[in-house]
Amino acid sequence: MSASGVYIPPMFIFKRKRWSDLLMKGCPAGAVGFPSPKGWIDCDLFISYLKHFVKFAHPSKSNPVLLILDGHVSHKSLQAVDFARENFITLLSLPPHTSHRLQPLDITFFGPLKKAINREADKWMARNPGKRLTPYDLCELFAPAYDRVACMQKAIKGFETAGIWPYNPDQFADDDFAPSTVTELPIEVSIEVCTTSVLANVRSATEHETLAVVEPEHDSALVVTETDEAPQCSHDAVDRVSVKDVSPYPRVSYTGGRKRRAEASEFITGSLFKYMLQQKEEQKLTKMTVSARKKLLIANLPTKTKIDTSKMSQPRGKGNGKGGGKKTKPVAETSQPRSRAMKKRKPFTELPELPRKPKWLKSKNTKNTCRKNNY
């Protein structure tokens, strides 16, 4: 959805390997669906969604489009970046762990949509007792719920609550960032409960009460086992103890090293991020084995190749006039250079099919062979 209240038709992802058009029975107008073996979106499915997005958003050079996404790995592929830049789409990812406050769909749309789908499912089960829901019934339940929830007010309110449009940098106060201080403190925190002066004031205030006081070696803690009234401390002594000293912020302890770097909000279609993706692709190619490189080179060869006809002058089966020369084959000229791993391999070309006689026509007794082969 957009800040103006316009909705792009949804894309359905079904956990299956083969596709069936019956899965889209009763779907909203303009919706598309794709199968996924794991049930999650990947780089190829995201490119399919970008094509679906371009079909309805109509981005152009005079009217570019800003697409705000979360930081999923499927959104950060080199193919997706190239496709977005060619179609005037700017991809911007949200900071990690902030989609519940910055993503408009999470704020105002997904919650009411889930409730509406559950309501439609209850109605379906009441109409069909003893039956169970299947993936083929999903679109029929989703369509009425989507039509009821996808309104202009929810789209506008979602962008406004997130502070994206109209742009409002003061949308969030300092209290909203308090959970981020959990991991910003050092692991070792010194907690000082009572000082020696506090202990002396407690003794003087509780002369007529039964107290059991245990003083450790450093004289820095006080343990009270029995008391009738709360001990009273002086005002100066109480000011020295803060809430953070008594109950400090928790700290997350890591047992091992971090496997991947910390992420942040990224300008995905920018030149710097594209250069980082290209460096990753080159690192993958250097780690590939020789057989994997051969498969990649064969897959990237052009389908139409130019054949050098100058080397086809010598006829087949005739060499130096003695009746048995080497057969010459045409050599294709490809635009891509051959690597060291491909030197021993023959050139991969599409040769023209030459008419050849079947073996049964070369034999003398053709009638018997035709009867055996039912010709």
Class of residue 303 by CB neighbours under 10 A (exposed 0-12, middle 13-18, buried 19+): exposed
Going by DSSP bridges, is the β-strand pair 32-36/306-307 parallel, antiparallel, or unpaired? unpaired
Q: For position 191, what pLDDT does the model report?
A: 44
Positive or negative torsion for Cα 267, 268, 271, 272: positive
Q: Give the other-Cβ count within 10 Å of 90's Cβ.
A: 16
pLDDT(283) > 90 = no
Is-contact 330 307, C-beta < 8 A?
yes
- Distances, alpha carbon 26 to alpha carbons 21, 49, 254, in Å: 11, 20, 49
Separation between Cα atoms, residue 173 and residue 184, nearest integer Å: 19
Which pLDDT tens digit goes with each residue over 38-59?
A: 999 999 999 999 999 999 999 9
Which domains, and CATH codes, for the chain? Answer: 11-170 (3.30.420), 196-244 (no CATH)
Identity of the highest mean pLDDT range in 271-285, 291-305, 344-358: 271-285
In the predicted model, is pLDDT for residue 130 greater than 50?
yes
pLDDT band at 35 (very low <50, low <70, confident <90, very high): very high
Q: Which residue has 């050079």 as its token pair?
A: 61
- Could you give the angle at the alpha carbon of 216 between the alpha carbons of 214 and 222, nearest 5°? 50
What does R_g of the chain's alpha carbons equal in angstroms?
37
Mean pLDDT lowest for which of 69-83, 91-105, 332-346? Answer: 332-346
Share of the chain above pLDDT 70, in %: 61
Q: Which of 47, 55, 42, 49 is nearest to 12 (CA)?
A: 49
Q: What is the pLDDT of residues 156-212, one digit of tens each?
A: 999 999 999 999 999 998 888 877 776 545 555 444 444 455 455 555 555 544 444
Distance of alpha carbon 89 from alpha carbon 68, whole angstroms: 10
Per mean pLDDT, which range of 213-227, 251-265, 360-374 is the poorest? 213-227
Q: pLDDT, tens digit, for every residue of 292-324? A: 777 777 776 665 544 444 444 444 544 444 444
Q: Is the pTM of this model over 0.85?
A: no
